[in-house]
């Protein structure tokens, strides 16, 4: 029969004739055939299969072999023995190489025919050894795919136990040598299919024997972390990622990032090659693993690796967005890389040139998925342009390309940026000293206490939370002529953009400290605030004088914000009409301090004999509010608003008890509704303002010398606010002098702080009614005015000269029967500086700030309702001559729940710590902790029409950072990341040999009782938690 078949195959007969004869030969397999004939047929068919000249001969060989092996299985067992299989795998067949695909397919076919025979077990053992040897020889993808098919069908051929682990490792390494140089789509698809077969085999092995998974992953990392320049592993390794259980991400990344045996160079290589895997078309979860590794490296402060990899690979990741099959994963990685790279715009600016082209492509490619993808992409771009504003030349064409697409809100952008920063990553991979002290959830930056400097920290944070003042300071174009304002601008820039949890204001402290403030000693924050504002005012005023005497040529950019405002594009400023009191030209010569904080008072003295009135107008930057004599019975009080003892309080003392006092039950029931205590009505801020403005009778020893009467007369002295400042600063005079004990004591009375308040402002009907305007202290008639001088805005030299001239001709003009109209100017609370302590000689300052959301900083809708309804409820003139709190009607109070978002409307600044709090905490702090009392308050002028006050100076958005400021922040952010990385490495090395104690803010003054506990990080000692560490 074999001779017939051999002659037929080599004959010249037609194919149909040959097929008919072959059919007869196959049918004859059912008949009795001798063993010799069977062996001859098996030998012939094997030769046809392996060495056949064409596909027809191979087909004939398979047909005849299957037929005779099925009916004569014992004979086929003797033919297809383990020795025969071993010879095929080690030596090949005739001229056929052992690595030829036909050999593997032939063995695959024979195994199917012998699957039920006992002898096949011996063959499985041989194949187990040989496939391991073949894999170690790094076969080509095609051969590896054919082997994978055999092993998938016959799992008994897969090596077991230790050999199984070694087989998986070697198969992984074999995949790393796969490369495809084809350019045709058919060849590319074939290559991807081959890789998929191999990776599927590994998946099946991992499922059947989980003990092989970890060694396989270790081999993957060993391959991709190789620094050998002659070896470039294939991105086909990406096909394995989708088969790794996602739930293993945490433990694997934790082990990888905390393994000190892994060098930075190896980690960098591994991360770069994982990012390259994004190009593999069928890989799933690659982006998940890449992002997890990026977060893990950030959590253990490996910032150098993150910076290098981001700058090296960001453009490649962006280029993957052009390919629909991989763009979704690439966008996830790109988003994380850009949003986390917040210390510098360098990474974002690398991809900026390609943004417009990609947007245009997404609009026109016709794919249904492209529209949704475009929305995600533009949201990312908006976040990055918000983070790195100030580059209109780079962003203009991008804004034009995406102008018709939705833009995310500012709050969403801030939330995304805050959660994505490297310093915001949750460090669950380390404990003890390796925990990163990143920014709090507020996203705000604290100020490091440099040794009893809480007086400075609380004031700086208060000024920073004055939105309009901060925006104008940051938008100033300064030169070297404004050293203090320049340092304040830099400090504000750092508070807004640094990645540090707390910034150390060393330079600003040295530049702004009053000469009489001893280094490291306790100081008064109110005194410091006045000195600081005075210095800034005088600095700008001096520059204006110098500029005015220069020739009228093109002036260089100076510190005057009036020049800067004239240069700002219209979209940076709020269009508004000025109120009559403020309708002045932009170049009126007022400094930024004057335009922001200065108001005007008229002090009038009316002779009660002849009714002649003597008036004098004077500016103020804050109102010093004394307590009424009946306010604190049993404690010494100032004798009036003019008697203002110099405060000497600051320092480090323990706050009140954390247990609320019984009096806390008398706290206001609503966060904003001004409700006095029923049993013992407490004072309110409007009460103190009204007491300050209340008429005072001058008689007996304080009798007034009337020029008209030419004698001492009984008189009435009044104070009227005639110009309301944009920001109203109120200082509560809590420190009084006890003449009996010769000590200064603190008035601990609780003062209710209304969130909304209106101030009576008297507008003169005739401009000539106001007499000379000077910068003299507020209480000009007080015998203790010299003591108050340090607490007021000091007059400039020019003002003093004008005052001397006016004094020569009569400083005070007399006006009989002058009339004024009264306006009620609404204010909303912006910040409160608290003093914690029992006396003026010691204590601690911290501050609360209103977390104004939105670009324009508009007030809460409920606040607006209260402002508007109070003046439009049918009684617009009721109580206009007195200061009063504005309350929210009960039906509107539901808009301000006690929890939820409202609890995040206020921030607590306590040196390095910044936490969320609520206004209820601000109002009730003294009830709960009697030693903690409000000291300095700042109110912001508001518009009852719901918009901003027409002041001509408010900016609607945060100004873009100037290049000099941006460069300084980028430099410091890089330094900070390097410091964190160095500290983490040092502490990690020290941890095994020493216990660790971690106390952030170690130099801070004592925390206020109203705070939320210790700062972030782990307290106490101890080393690391014991974990099962994977050694890669």
Read out DSSP for 803-816?
HHHHHHH-SSEE-S
Q: Is 583 exposed, middle or buried (0-12, 13-18, 19+ CB in 10 A)?
A: exposed
Q: Is 366 exposed, middle or buried (0-12, 13-18, 19+ CB in 10 A)?
A: exposed
Beta carbons of 637 and 737 less than 8 angstroms apart: no
Reported residue count of the chain is: 1032
From the candidates 454, 607, 649, 883, which is the catalytic residue? Answer: 454
Neighbours of 910 (CB within 10 A): 31
From the candidates 72, 382, 835, 844, which is the catalytic residue? Answer: 844
Distance, in Å, from the CA atom of 401 to the CA atom of 311, rounded to the nearest integer, reads 25
Best CA proximity match to 1014, nearest among 997, 1002, 1022: 1002
Place of tokens 């440099």: 450
Best CA proximity match to 995, nearest among 1014, 1020, 1026, 1018: 1020
Beta carbons of 756 and 866 less than 8 angstroms apart: yes
Distance, in Å, from the CA atom of 977 to the CA atom of 972, rounded to the nearest integer, reads 9
- List strand residue ranges (DSSP E) for 417-496, in order: 446-447
- List strand residue ranges (DSSP E) for 272-404, in order: none
Query: Kind and range of the H or E element at 984?
Result: helix 963-990
Query: Kind and range of the H or E element at 607?
Result: strand 599-607
Residues contacting 468, CB < 8 A, separation 6+: 596, 726, 727, 857, 940, 951, 953, 954, 955
Best CA proximity match to 812, nearest among 616, 617, 618: 616
844 part of the active site: yes
Beta carbons of 728 and 949 less than 8 angstroms apart: no
Distance, in Å, from the CA atom of 199 to the CA atom of 722, rounded to the nearest integer, reads 82
Best CA proximity match to 281, nearest among 326, 318, 236: 326
Pick left, alpha or beta for residue 183 (phi over 0 → left; psi -120 to 50 → alpha; otherwise beta).
alpha
Beta carbons of 265 and 220 less than 8 angstroms apart: no
Residues contacting 981, CB < 8 A, separation 6+: 301, 302, 303, 304
Distance of CA 629 to the CA centre of its chain: 49
Query: Kind and range of the H or E element at 40?
Result: helix 35-51
Distance of CA 755 to the CA centre of its chain: 29
Phi, psi (rounded to 5 degrees) for 938: -130, 125
Token output for 414:
């801030």
Token output for 304:
């150098």
Beta carbons of 578 and 723 less than 8 angstroms apart: no
Best CA proximity match to 623, nearest among 697, 538, 526, 539: 526
Is the dihedral angle over the CA atoms 284, 287, 293, 295 positive or is it negative? negative
Tell me, letter by letter, the H, E, C secondary structure of 725-776. CCEEEEEECCEEEECCCCEEEECCCCEECCCEEEEEEEEECCHHHCCCECCC
Tally DSSP H helices, then E strands, for the chain: 36, 22
Distance, in Å, from the CA atom of 619 to the CA atom of 600, rounded to the nearest integer, reads 4
Which DSSP letter does residue 888 get?
Answer: -
Q: Is 783 exposed, middle or buried (0-12, 13-18, 19+ CB in 10 A)?
A: exposed
The residues carrying an active-site annotation are 454, 844
């Amino acid at each position: 029969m074999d001779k017939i078949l051999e002659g037929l195959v080599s004959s010249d007969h037609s194919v149909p004739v040959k097929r008919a004869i072959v059919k007869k030969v196959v049918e004859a397999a059912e008949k009795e055939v001798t063993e010799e004939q069977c062996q001859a047929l098996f030998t012939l068919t094997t030769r046809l299969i392996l060495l056949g000249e064409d596909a027809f001969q191979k087909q004939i060989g398979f047909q005849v072999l299957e037929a005779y092996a099925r009916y004569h299985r014992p004979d086929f067992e003797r033919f297809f023995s383990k020795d025969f299989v071993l010879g095929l795998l080690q030596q090949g067949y005739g001229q056929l190489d052992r690595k030829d695909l036909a050999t593997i397919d032939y063995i695959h076919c024979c195994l199917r025919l012998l699957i039920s025979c006992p002898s096949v077990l011996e063959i499985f053992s041989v194949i187990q050894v040989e496939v391991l040897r073949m894999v170690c020889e790094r076969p080509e993808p095609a051969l590896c795919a054919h082997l994978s098919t055999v092993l998938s069908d016959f799992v008994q051929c897969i090596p077991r136990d230790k050999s199984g682990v070694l087989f998986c490792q070697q198969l992984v390494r074999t995949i790393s040598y796969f490369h495809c140089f084809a350019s045709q789509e058919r060849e590319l698809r074939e290559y991807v299919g081959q890789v998929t077969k191999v990776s599927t085999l590994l998946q099946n092995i991992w499922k059947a024997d989980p003990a092989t998974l970890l060694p396989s992953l270790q081999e993957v990392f060993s391959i991709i972390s190789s620094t050998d320049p002659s070896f470039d592993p294939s991105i086909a390794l990406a096909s394995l990622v989708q088969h790794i259980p996602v739930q293993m991400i945490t433990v694997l990344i934790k082990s990888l990032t905390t393994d000190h045996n892994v060098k930075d160079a190896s980690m960098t290589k591994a991360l770069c090659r994982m990012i390259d895997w994004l190009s593999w078309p069928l890989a799933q979860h690659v982006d998940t693993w890449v992002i997890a590794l990026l977060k893990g490296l950030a959590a253990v402060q490996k910032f150098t690796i993150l910076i290098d990899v981001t700058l090296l690979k960001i453009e490649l990741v962006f280029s993957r967005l052009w390919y629909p099959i991989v763009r979704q994963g690439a966008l996830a990685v790109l988003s994380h890389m850009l949003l986390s790279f917040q210390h510098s715009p360098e990474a974002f600016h690398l991809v900026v040139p390609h943004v417009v082209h990609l947007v245009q492509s997404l609009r026109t490619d016709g794919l249904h998925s492209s529209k949704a993808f475009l929305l995600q992409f533009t949201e990312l771009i908006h976040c990055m342009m918000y983070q790195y504003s100030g580059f209109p030349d780079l962003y203009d064409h991008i804004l034009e390309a995406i102008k018709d697409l939705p833009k995310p809100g500012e709050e969403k952008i801030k939330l995304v940026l805050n959660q994505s920063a490297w310093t915001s990553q949750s460090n669950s991979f380390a404990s003890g000293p390796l925990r990163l002290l990143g920014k709090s959830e507020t996203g705000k930056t604290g100020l490091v206490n440099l040794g009893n400097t809480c007086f400075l920290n609380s004031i700086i944070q208060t000024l920073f939370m004055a939105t309009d003042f901060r925006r104008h300071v940051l938008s100033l174009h300064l030169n070297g002529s404004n050293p203090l304002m320049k340092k304040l601008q830099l400090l504000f820039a750092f508070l807004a953009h640094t990645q540090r949890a707390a910034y150390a204001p060393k330079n600003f402290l040295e530049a702004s400290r009053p000469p009489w403030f001893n280094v490291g000693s306790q100081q008064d924050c109110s005194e410091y605030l006045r000195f600081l504002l005075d210095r800034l005012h005088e600095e700008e005023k001096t520059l204006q004088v110098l500029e005015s005497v220069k020739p009228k040529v093109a002036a260089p950019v100076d510190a005057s914000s009036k020049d800067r405002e004239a240069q700002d594009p219209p979209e940076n400023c709020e269009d508004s009409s000025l109120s009559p009191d403020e309708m002045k030209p932009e170049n009126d010569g007022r400094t930024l301090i004057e335009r922001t904080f200065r108001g005007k008072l008229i002090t009038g003295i009316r002779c009660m004999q002849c009714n002649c009135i003597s008036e004098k107008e004077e500016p103020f930057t804050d109102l010093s509010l004394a307590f009424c004599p009946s306010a604190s019975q049993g404690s010494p009080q100032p004798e009036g608003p003019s008697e203002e003892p110099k405060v000497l309080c600051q320092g480090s003392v323990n706050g009140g008890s954390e247990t609320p006092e019984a009096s806390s039950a008398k706290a206001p029931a609503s966060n904003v509704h001004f409700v006095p205590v029923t049993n013992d009505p407490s004072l309110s801020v409007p009460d103190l303002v009204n007491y300050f403005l209340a008429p005072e009778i001058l008689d007996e020893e304080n009798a007034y010398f009337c020029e008209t009467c030419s004698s001492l007369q009984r008189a009435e002295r009044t104070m009227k606010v005639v110009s309301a400042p944009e920001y109203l600063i109120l200082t509560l005079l809590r420190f009084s002098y006890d003449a009996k004990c010769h000590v200064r004591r603190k008035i601990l009375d609780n003062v209710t702080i209304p969130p909304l308040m209106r101030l009576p402002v008297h507008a003169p009907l005739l401009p000539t009614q106001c007499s000379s305007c000077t910068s003299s202290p507020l209480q000009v008639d007080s015998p203790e005015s010299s003591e108050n001088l340090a607490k007021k805005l000091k007059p400039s030299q020019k003002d003093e000269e004008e005052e001397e001239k006016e004094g020569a001709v009569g400083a005070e003009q007399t006006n009989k029967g002058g009339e004024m109209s009264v306006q009620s100017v609404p204010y909303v609370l912006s910040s409160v500086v608290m003093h914690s302590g029992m006396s003026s000689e010691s204590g601690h300052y911290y501050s609360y700030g209103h977390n104004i959301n939105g670009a324009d900083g508009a007030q809460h809708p409920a606040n607006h309702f209260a402002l508007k309804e109070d003046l439009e409820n049918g009684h617009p003139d009721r109580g206009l001559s007195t200061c009063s709190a504005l309350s929210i009607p009960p039906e509107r109070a539901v808009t301000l729940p006690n929890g939820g978002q409202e609890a995040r409307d206020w921030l607590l600044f306590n040196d390095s710590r910044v936490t969320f709090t609520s206004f209820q905490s601000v109002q009730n702090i003294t009830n709960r902790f009697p030693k903690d009392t409000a000291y300095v308050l700042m109110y912001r002028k508001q518009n009852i029409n719901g918009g901003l006050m027409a002041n001509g100076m408010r900016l609607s958005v945060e100004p873009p950072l100037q290049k000099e400021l941006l460069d300084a922040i980028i430099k410091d952010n890089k330094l900070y990341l390097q410091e964190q990385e160095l500290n983490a490495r040092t502490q990690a090395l020290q941890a095994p040999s020493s216990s660790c104690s971690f106390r952030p803010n170690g130099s801070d003054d004592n925390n206020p009782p109203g705070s939320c506990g210790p700062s972030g990080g782990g307290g106490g000692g101890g080393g690391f938690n014991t974990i099962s560490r994977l050694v890669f």
